Amino acid sequence: MKKAILLVIDGLGDLPTPKTPLQAAKKPNLDKLAKDGITGMLAPVGRFIVPGSDTSHLQMLGYDPEIYYCGRGPLEALGVGVALEEGDVAFRANLATVKNGKVIDRRAGRIDTATAATLAKYVPKEIDGVQIIFKTSVEHRGALVLRGPGLSCCVSDTDPHSPGAIHECQPLDDSPEPKKTSDIVNKFTKLAMEALSKAPENSKRDKPANAILVRGAGSYRKPPSFHERFGLYAACIAGGALYRGVATFMGMDLVMVPGATGDRNTDIAAKAKAAVKALGEYDFVFMHVKGCDSAGHDGDFAAKKRMIERIDREAIPLLAESGACLVITGDHSTPVSLKAHSGHEVPIIVHGGERKDDVRKFDELSCAKGGLGHVKGRHIMPLILNITGRAEKYGT
Q: Shortest Cβ contact with Zn ion: which residue?
A: 53
> Closest distance between Zn ion and the C-beta of residue 331, in Å?
4
Q: What whole-number distance in Å separates Cα of residue 289 and Cα of residue 9?
A: 5
Of 53 and 202, which has the nearer Cβ to Zn ion? 53
For residue 213, is it left (φ>0), alpha (ψ between -120 and 50) or beta? beta
Report the half-sphere exposure of 149 (CA within 13 A, side-chain side). 1
Q: What whole-number distance in Å separates Cα of residue 384 and Cα of residue 354?
A: 10
Of 269 and 340, which has the nearer Cβ to Zn ion? 340
Closest CA to 304 of 51, 23, 50: 23
Strand partners, 133: 145
Size of the site for Zn ion (CB under 5 A): 4
Q: What whole-number distance in Å separates Cα of residue 203 and Cα of residue 198?
A: 8
Q: Could you tell me the CA-to-CA distances from 155 to 50, 182, 184, 297 in Å, in that order?
A: 24, 6, 11, 28
Residue 14 binds Zn ion, judged by CB under 5 A: no
Residue 105 binds Zn ion, judged by CB under 5 A: no
Q: Mask of contacts with Zn ion, 328-357, x by CB under 5 A?
A: ---x--------------------------
Q: What whole-number distance in Å separates Cα of residue 157 and Cα of residue 70?
A: 16
> Closest distance between Zn ion and the C-beta of residue 293, in Å?
4
| Subset of 135-154 contacting Zn ion (CB under 5 A) | none
Residue 177 binds Zn ion, judged by CB under 5 A: no
Q: Mask of contacts with Zn ion, 286-325, x by CB under 5 A?
A: -------x--------------------------------
Of 53 and 342, which has the nearer Cβ to Zn ion? 53
> Closest distance between Zn ion and the C-beta of residue 217, in Å?
20
Q: What whole-number distance in Å separates Cα of residue 179 and Cα of residue 172?
A: 8
* Helix H or strand E encompassing 104: strand 102-105
Among 3, 10, 152, 242, binds Zn ion (CB under 5 A): 10
Residue 53 binds Zn ion, judged by CB under 5 A: yes
Contacting residues toward Zn ion, per CB under 5 A = 10, 53, 293, 331
